[in-house]
């Protein structure tokens, strides 16, 4: 699909897989900025993009348009050492002057004040983009402003230091504001406190394997790359702080060792977690690693992932006919959105343009593209820190994530079925499928039904993860909570183990403490009837029928307007074990799950499965889990 703005001719010599070069990235940045600035106020302080407003209101949305596009312009100009052929920085300088002249006033240009996150919090998010943009372009923008405008801008930005952020990655917004103020000689005790607080919290959220929780809980998602790594690593890089860069950069390197496998061969990132309308911002951490030298990837592989992700969305309709990023995934997609998303929210995708901080003669642009990790070989990789299991297949370029450690429940919160979040609570996610909407049948979900009431999975308790040569596993348990009636059945719990091997997934579940007459259901991947992607689910033990029924999901997914989901069902009561094979494949060679296993043995909380292809055996013991795989 062609873009609404002109791009250079593809160069398949230097970029044999994507055709994209640095010139393509500059052209995309310029095209996005040109389209957005058609909606600017006369003074340039607010960019009012079309679409439904966010819960923060139209004025905050207009600030969001200014701030997030400013990031793209800042990376574009800073990476070109100040060369600004389209005079973007003049527009942003004018907008800064107009927006900070009378903050809080209800007029055409004034920016809203920055207040506590639960009062009028969104401007705090945007303050970080404004501050980072000013820091990146200081020699060409900030240093040329009059003292009065600088003072007004500082006073507005300090609102981020004086108000309470949301209890998650938001603490890195005042951290980033403080970093800018210190970089231009306006630091003080207030900025030092904001930076110290942000770094202290960041340390407390680190869970290992290069992964941070997004707050005091176990939410692991794309915010790791486009926020929790990006802000401290970029701050250390810009300040020249070698010790800080070694510390934060080392964690970025560890993160990329697994995260680089979370992109399909078609360039798609995993459809997992919130704020997915930021799309190709998912590649920001990959490019930042290349820019700073803290990455396990070669420059050619880094560019392959970043350019692949950018092109993936441009080729699939992420832009409207007039060049704006739509609210959604490919086109508009309401089910992918959160209520805080507004018309300019997708422009956090601007973070991907951190790649442009690598100058034209950097190896990120001059080396020939190399295969992404998913294109090199079949891989299974466990990440015990966040409790995730990655499974990729080279033949179809698909990546699957099996979730045994991430949820969206903070430690102080209770569990309620009303808070069920499809972007965190499902057992698995992929680069080819999205979760079904809450009102539809849930994909990749085990539900216990008590008195006809189905349960959901909220808080996920990791039990371990590991991998060997060509296989891996991850395990967790959860308390089922119900849509109606009491919040839980005393003593009821579900223990779950996923074993990934090649393109196959062994899903083993033990239900403990279910009342007599209860039922259990298990669903597989949601796919559309016209897709080449094939979802299969086959019962091995504990089901009424080993053949799965197919249920409709009329709201579809980010990939298809209408989806179908395979489902198994069986009885349970007391303690029961339920085993199934699942697969998600693209292309004509979907595996025959009915013939994949030759023998299944279940005995007193242990499971042993014998695989047909080589006679190897997988052994699973529940509570605490012990998983092994032995070849004959």
3-state secondary structure of 597: strand
Specify if 15 maps to a domain: no
Specify if 3 maps to a domain: no
Specify if 5 maps to a domain: no
- Domain stops at, among 323, 343, 374: 374
The answer to whether the CB of 174 falls within 8 A of the CB of 160 is yes
Q: What contacts 95, CB < 8 A, 6 or more positions away?
A: 40, 43, 44, 45, 46, 66
Answer yes or no: do 54 and 132 share one domain.
yes
Answer yes or no: do 391 and 359 share one domain.
no
DSSP, res 3? -
Has residue 484 got a pLDDT over 70?
Answer: no
Mean pLDDT of the chain: 96
**From CA 440, how far away is CA 86, in angstroms rounded?**
47
pLDDT digits (tens, 9 = 90+) for 541-562: 999 999 999 999 999 999 999 9
**From CA 164, how far away is CA 387, in angstroms rounded?**
30
Specify if 17 maps to a domain: no
The answer to whether the CB of 474 falls within 8 A of the CB of 465 is yes
- Domain stops at, among 374, 401, 433: 374
Specify if 10 maps to a domain: no
Q: Rounded mean pLDDT of 521-548?
A: 95
Answer yes or no: do 247 and 389 share one domain.
no
pLDDT band at 149 (very low <50, low <70, confident <90, very high): very high
CATH of the domain at 394: 2.70.98
Answer yes or no: do 90 and 168 share one domain.
yes
Answer yes or no: do 484 and 544 share one domain.
yes
Residue 185: domain span: 22-374
**From CA 72, how far away is CA 553, in angstroms rounded?**
37
Has residue 486 got a pLDDT over 80?
Answer: no
Question: In whole angstroms, how far apart are CA 209 and each of 251, 374, 405?
Answer: 8, 19, 13
Answer yes or no: do 195 and 166 share one domain.
yes
Output the pLDDT for position 489: 87
User: Helix count (H) and strand count (E) of the chain?
Assistant: 15, 20
Pick the closest to residue 158 from 119, 118, 115, 94 (CA basis): 115
Has residue 604 got a pLDDT over 90?
Answer: no
Answer yes or no: do 302 and 382 share one domain.
no
**From CA 191, how far away is CA 162, in angstroms rounded?**
10
Question: In whole angstroms, how far apart are CA 153 and each of 78, 88, 149, 173, 296?
Answer: 20, 18, 6, 16, 39
Long-range CB pairs of 84-88, under 8 A, 24+ apart, other chains included: 84/140, 86/30, 86/33, 86/34, 88/33
Answer yes or no: do 395 and 314 share one domain.
no
Specify if 6 maps to a domain: no
Answer yes or no: do 337 and 396 share one domain.
no
Into how many domains does the chain fold? Answer: 2
As given in the structure block, the two tokens for residue 497 are: 């183990």
pLDDT band at 393 (very low <50, low <70, confident <90, very high): very high
Answer yes or no: do 343 and 400 share one domain.
no
pLDDT band at 325 (very low <50, low <70, confident <90, very high): very high
Q: Rounded mean pLDDT of 181-209?
A: 98
Pick the closest to residue 508 from 430, 402, 421 (CA basis): 402
pLDDT band at 485 (very low <50, low <70, confident <90, very high): low
Q: Rounded mean pLDDT of 152-165?
A: 98
Runs of H (alpha helix) within 261-335: 284-292, 299-314
Range scoring the smallest mean pLDDT among 235-239, 514-518, 528-532: 528-532
CATH of the domain at 147: 1.50.10.10
Answer yes or no: do 473 and 490 share one domain.
yes
**What is the per-residue burial (b if ≥16 Cβ within 10 Å, else e) of 324-338?**
bbbbbbbebbebbbe
Specify if 475 maps to a domain: yes
Range scoring the smallest mean pLDDT among 111-115, 237-241, 411-415, 602-606: 411-415
**From CA 496, how far away is CA 514, in angstroms rounded?**
15
- Domain stops at, among 349, 374, 399: 374
Specify if 564 maps to a domain: yes
Answer yes or no: do 393 and 325 share one domain.
no
As given in the structure block, the two tokens for residue 565 are: 């989901």
């Amino acid at each position: 699909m062609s873009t609404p703005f002109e791009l250079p001719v593809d160069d398949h010599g230097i970029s044999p897989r994507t055709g994209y070069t640095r010139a393509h990235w500059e052209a995309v940045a310029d095209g996005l900025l040109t389209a957005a600035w058609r909606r600017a106020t006369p003074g340039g302080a607010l960019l009012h993009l079309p679409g439904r407003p966010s819960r923060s209101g139209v004025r905050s949305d207009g600030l969001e348009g200014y701030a997030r596009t400013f990031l793209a312009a800042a990376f574009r100009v800073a990476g070109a050492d100040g060369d600004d052929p389209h005079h973007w920085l003049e527009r942003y300088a004018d907008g800064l002057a107009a927006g900070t002249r009378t903050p809080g006033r209800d007029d055409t240009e004034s920016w809203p004040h920055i207040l506590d996150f639960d009062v009028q919090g969104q401007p705090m998010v945007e303050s970080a983009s404004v501050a980072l943009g000013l820091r990146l372009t200081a020699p060409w923008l900030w240093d040329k402003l009059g003292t009065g405008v600088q003072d007004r801008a500082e006073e507005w930005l300090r609102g981020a230091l004086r108000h309470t952020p949301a209890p998650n990655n938001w603490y890195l917004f005042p951290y980033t504001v403080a970093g800018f103020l210190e970089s231009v000689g306006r630091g003080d005790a207030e900025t030092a406190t904001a930076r110290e607080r942000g770094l202290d919290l960041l340390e407390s959220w680190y869970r290992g394997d290069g992964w941070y929780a997004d707050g005091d809980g176990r939410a692991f998602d794309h915010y790791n790359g486009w926020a929790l790594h990006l802000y401290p690593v970029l701050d250390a890089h810009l300040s020249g702080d070698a010790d800080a860069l070694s510390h934060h950069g080392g964690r970025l390197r560890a993160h990329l060792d697994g995260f680089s496998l979370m992109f399909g061969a078609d360039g798609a990132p995993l459809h997992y977690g919130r704020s997915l309308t930021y799309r190709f911002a998912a590649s920001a951490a990959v490019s930042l690693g290349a820019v700073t030298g803290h990455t396990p990837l070669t420059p050619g592989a880094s560019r392959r992932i970043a350019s692949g992700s950018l092109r993936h969305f441009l080729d699939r309709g992420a832009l409207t006919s007039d060049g704006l990023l739509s609210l959604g995934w490919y086109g508009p997609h309401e089910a992918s959105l959160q209520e805080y998303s507004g018309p300019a929210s997708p422009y956090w995708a601007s973070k991907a343009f951190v790649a442009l901080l690598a100058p034209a003669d950097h190896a990120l642009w001059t080396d020939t593209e190399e295969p992404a990790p998913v294109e090199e070989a079949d891989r299974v990789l466990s990440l015990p820190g966040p409790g995730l299991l990655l499974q990729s297949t080279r033949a179809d370029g698909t990546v699957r994530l099996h979730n045994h450690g991430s949820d969206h429940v903070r430690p102080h919160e209770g569990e309620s079925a009303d808070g069920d979040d499809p972007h965190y609570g499902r057992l698995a996610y992929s680069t080819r499928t999205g979760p079904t909407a809450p009102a539809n049948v849930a994909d990749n979900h085990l539900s216990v039904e008590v008195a006809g009431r189905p349960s959901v999975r909220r808080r996920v308790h990791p039990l371990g993860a590991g991998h060997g040569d060509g296989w891996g596993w991850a395990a967790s348990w959860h308390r089922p909570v119900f849509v109606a009636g009491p919040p839980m059945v005393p003593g009821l719990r579900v223990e779950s183990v996923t074993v990934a091997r090649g393109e196959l997934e062994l899903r083993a579940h033990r239900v403990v403490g279910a009342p007599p007459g209860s039922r259990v259901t298990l669903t597989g991947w949601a796919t559309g009837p016209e897709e080449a992607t094939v979802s299969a689910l086959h019962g091995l033990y504990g089901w009424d029928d080993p053949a799965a029924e197919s249920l409709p999901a009329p709201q579809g997914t980010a990939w298809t307007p209408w989806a179908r989901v395979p489902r198994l069902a069986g009885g349970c009561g007391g303690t029961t074990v339920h085993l199934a094979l699942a697969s998600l494949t693209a292309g004509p060679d979907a595996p025959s799950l009915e013939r994949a296993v030759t023998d299944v043995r279940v005995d007193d909380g242990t499971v042993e499965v014998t695989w047909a292809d080589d006679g190897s055996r997988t052994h699973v013991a529940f509570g605490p889990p012990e998983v092994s795989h032995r070849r004959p």
